[in-house]
């Protein structure tokens, strides 16, 4: 790849610049439409009736009163729903959580509280919602099994069936024996509560029945290819019969990786009525699927007096549903972060009468890194080491679990720059030693880590006669700034003004790309756009070189640059020609290319790729009231090349806010007698608000990485990882009290 096409160097280059989001104006003015807002003629509205029990069976459904309401068209249940060709293999080949997803209205069996048991269809939403309250469902109820602690004896090692989910590596050394013989030991249990995603936009699907019998589907999804694949597999449709779109997403955080049950119900009803149907879930119904399952973890660290690890044991038990073996990478991070000769990592699941948990921002890492980084802080106190110094003693430049070096790892620079900006050298290591008036002050830190990944992706780039550029593929912009960075890459690739590029996403009529998740979108779709832009650049260059009297007649492609809407010699800018002149002179209306990009197998064979961070947190604790305030956070990130510092910093700040939520606020409360999450609203499920957020500073550490042509590592996940541990460690420094169960709430501190 010629550096001129991707370097971002020069006054008219855009990659690396802090450019505001191109989709910002549409979102703040209300012009952006979401999946539950698209209009369709003769639209039917569906409202879901949810199960009141968590385990048992339906013995009868009386929908007579609901069906008698004027405007109600039908009430669908498991007893009268149309047959569908298949569901069992609905997620085959899907790049997102695969498995055997819940089948709505399948039979009389109740698998979790809030399960959809009926769908009321009416001419308007209000009528459907009212009629749903009139549906009467009788149940034969069994005692729900939702208590992870009580059922821990049933824990099992899950089958390895989730693509991309690494099981714990085989143990090396003898961790048990080494732990017993270690001079200094830390053996503790850590817990992170159940958490729900709670995006602002509710899950909704609008299925539009077109006149030719095809379907246009607007679905809340982080990748429309998943929606299309689900519908074709379940309903026996061909891809050309279903066009799926999601141009904007009002928050997903992983809850929209896989299609949720409102999509199935909307398509089922649309086919049954032969009318367009919209199904939008109520806020409390969004507790009836995907969530971050609590993890009960045990860690044993054995070390010499200087803090060098001699033994590392990390085990985790998580809940899953009765119908899927959902699993995450929870314990592996401990083996990747630190060098140790004796390591044992274990991971087990327990079947519970809940919906299947799901990926929630940095799945597995939020839980596992919280535990290991809390334990490392405890080890720092036990050995009398500064927390950074302890981590440096156990620093590794290779992944011990794979035996391969990291392609890049600038974590030491993260320590140095983050600590300098935070003022870590002024920290008094003694607990309860720092005060500000009536509040105790605590400083804590932790490492963050996330795998740097790339998926197979395609993209199309086109240059039109007026000098404008069109970019597109089917991935989504879930709020991360994908529209903007792809626009930047294409603008640099063809040397055109930023405002001359239009990017379209979230449409299955565009080249296929993976879901937006896992922090792989910039590397995957960005590289595909870069390659497609180069292809178009080569096409227009060939045309320019063939012009009569061309100033580029004898030039090589590697000797030209694309800038200011022109192609010109790098060493002689006067010798060049405008892109519009080339197309006009050759009678060309449009030049187009579609290119694909995927992981570099040679790189993967030699190296491991991870993003790293160092998170520093300051808390102030009112010991009389138990109130904890996070007053400062500094996060130093090593994530390869930063395409857009503005959108990148926004991603990290958003992750930090979510990390504060994990540490101090978020907890989905299960009543085990009912098997139901009780705080299913934003009044009782606490999330951070403006008053909870104070100073946040993000530092991007220079790092060169060759895992992909762009040199990027992704930022969507890393911002949250390690934040909860840094805060918990700061609370201990402030109070001398070690809270090992998140969230850290008033009652835990006061007792």
DSSP state of 625: T
Element (H, E) at 671: strand 670-671
Query: Sign of torsion, CA 45 49 50 56?
Result: negative
| Total Cβ atoms within 10 A of residue 106 | 14
Rounded distance between C-alpha atoms, residue 199 and residue 286, angstroms: 9
Rounded distance between C-alpha atoms, residue 695 and residue 629, angstroms: 11
Strand partners, 346: 315
Side-chain half-sphere CA neighbours of 479 within 13 A: 22
Q: Which residue has the tokens 């320590």?
A: 415
Backbone angles phi, psi at 54, to 5 degrees: -105, -20
Nearest to 207 by CA among 104, 256, 276, 119: 276
Q: Which residue has the tokens 């009321």?
A: 120
Rounded distance between C-alpha atoms, residue 530 and residue 486, angstroms: 9
Side-chain half-sphere CA neighbours of 408 within 13 A: 23
| Total Cβ atoms within 10 A of residue 436 | 10
Rounded distance between C-alpha atoms, residue 707 and residue 604, angstroms: 8
Backbone angles phi, psi at 31, to 5 degrees: -75, -25
Cβ contacts of residue 129 below 8 Å, gap of 6+?
A: 47, 120
Q: 589 and 465 in contact (C-beta within 8 Å)?
A: yes
Q: Does 624 participate in catalysis according to the annotation?
A: no
Catalytic residue selected from 324, 328, 666, 717:
717
End-to-end CA distance of the chain: give it in Å, rounded. 61
Q: 670 and 355 in contact (C-beta within 8 Å)?
A: no
Please list the active-site residues: 717
């Amino acid at each position: 790849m010629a550096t001129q096409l991707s370097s971002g160097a020069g006054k008219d280059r855009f990659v690396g610049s802090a450019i505001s989001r191109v989709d910002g104006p549409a979102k703040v003015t209300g012009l952006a439409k979401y999946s539950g807002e698209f209009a369709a003629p003769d639209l039917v509205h569906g409202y879901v009736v949810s199960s009141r029990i968590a385990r048992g069976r339906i013995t009868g459904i009386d929908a007579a009163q609901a069906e008698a309401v004027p405007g109600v068209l039908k009430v669908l249940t498991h007893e009268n729903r149309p047959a569908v060709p298949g569901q069992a293999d609905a997620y085959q080949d899907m790049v997102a959580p695969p498995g055997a997803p819940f089948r709505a209205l399948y039979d009389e069996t109740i698998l979790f509280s809030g399960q959809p048991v009926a769908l009321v269809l009416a001419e308007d939403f209000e009528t459907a919602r009212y009629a749903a309250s009139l549906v009467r469902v009788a149940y034969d109820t069994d005692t729900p099994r939702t208590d992870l602690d009580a059922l821990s004896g049933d824990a099992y090692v899950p089958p390895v069936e989730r693509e991309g989910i690494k099981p714990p590596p085989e143990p090396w050394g003898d961790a048990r024996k080494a732990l017993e013989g270690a001079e200094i030991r830390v053996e503790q249990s850590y817990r992170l509560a159940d958490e729900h995603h709670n995006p602002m936009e509710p899950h909704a699907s609008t299925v539009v029945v077109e006149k030719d019998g095809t379907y246009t589907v607007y679905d809340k999804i982080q990748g429309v290819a998943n929606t299309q694949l689900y519908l074709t597999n379940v309903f026996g449709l061909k891809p050309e019969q279903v066009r799926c779109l999601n141009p904007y997403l009002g928050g997903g955080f992983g809850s929209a990786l896989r299609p949720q049950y409102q999509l199935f119900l909307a398509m089922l009803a649309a086919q049954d009525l032969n009318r367009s149907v919209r199904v939008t879930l109520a806020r409390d119904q969004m507790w009836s699927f995907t969530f971050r399952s609590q993890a009960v973890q045990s860690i044993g660290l054995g070390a010499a007096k200087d803090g060098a690890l001699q033994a590392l044991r990390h085990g985790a038990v998580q809940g899953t549903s009765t119908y899927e073996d959902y699993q995450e990478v929870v314990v592996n991070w401990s083996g990747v972060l630190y060098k140790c000769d004796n390591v044992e990592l274990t991971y087990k699941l327990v079947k519970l009468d809940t919906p299947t948990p799901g990926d929630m921002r940095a799945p597995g890492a939020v839980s596992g890194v919280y535990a290991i980084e809390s334990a490392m802080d405890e080890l720092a106190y036990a050995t009398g080491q500064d927390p950074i110094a302890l981590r440096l003693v156990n620093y590794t430049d290779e992944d011990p679990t794979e035996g391969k070096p990291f392609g890049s790892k600038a974590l030491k620079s993260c320590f140095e720059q983050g600590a300098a900006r935070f003022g870590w050298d002024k920290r008094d290591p003694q607990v309860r030693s720092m005060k500000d008036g009536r509040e105790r002050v605590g400083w804590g830190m932790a490492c963050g880590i996330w795998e740097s990944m790339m998926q197979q992706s395609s993209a199309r780039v086109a240059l039109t006669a007026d000098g404008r550029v069109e970019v597109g593929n089917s991935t989504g912009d879930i709020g991360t700034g994908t529209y903007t960075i792809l626009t930047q890459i294409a603008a640099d690739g063809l040397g055109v003004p930023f405002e001359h590029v239009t990017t379209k996403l979230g449409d299955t009529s565009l080249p296929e790309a993976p879901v937006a998740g896992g922090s792989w979108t910039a590397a995957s779709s960005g590289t595909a756009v870069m390659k497609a832009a180069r292809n178009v650049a080569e096409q227009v260059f060939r045309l320019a070189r063939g012009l009569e009297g061309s100033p580029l007649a004898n030039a090589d492609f590697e000797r030209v640059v694309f800038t200011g809407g022109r192609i010109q010699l790098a060493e002689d800018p006067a010798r060049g020609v405008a892109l519009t002149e080339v197309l006009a002179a050759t009678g060309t209306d449009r030049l187009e290319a579609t290119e694909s990009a995927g992981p570099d197998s040679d790189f993967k064979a030699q190296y491991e790729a991870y993003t790293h961070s160092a998170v520093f947190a300051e808390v102030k604790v009112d010991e009389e009231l138990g109130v904890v305030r996070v007053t400062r956070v500094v996060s130093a990130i090593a994530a390869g090349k930063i395409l857009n510092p503005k959108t990148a910093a926004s991603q990290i700040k958003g992750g930090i806010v979510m990390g504060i939520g994990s540490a101090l606020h978020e907890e989905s409360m299960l009543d085990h007698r009912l098997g139901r999450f009780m705080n299913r609203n934003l009044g009782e499920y606490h999330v951070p608000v403006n008053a909870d957020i104070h100073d946040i500073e993000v530092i991007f550490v220079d790092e060169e990485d060759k895992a992909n042509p762009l040199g990027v590592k992704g930022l969507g996940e890393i911002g949250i990882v390690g934040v909860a541990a840094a805060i918990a460690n700061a609370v201990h420094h402030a109070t001398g009290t070690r809270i090992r169960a998140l969230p850290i709430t008033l009652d835990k501190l006061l007792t």
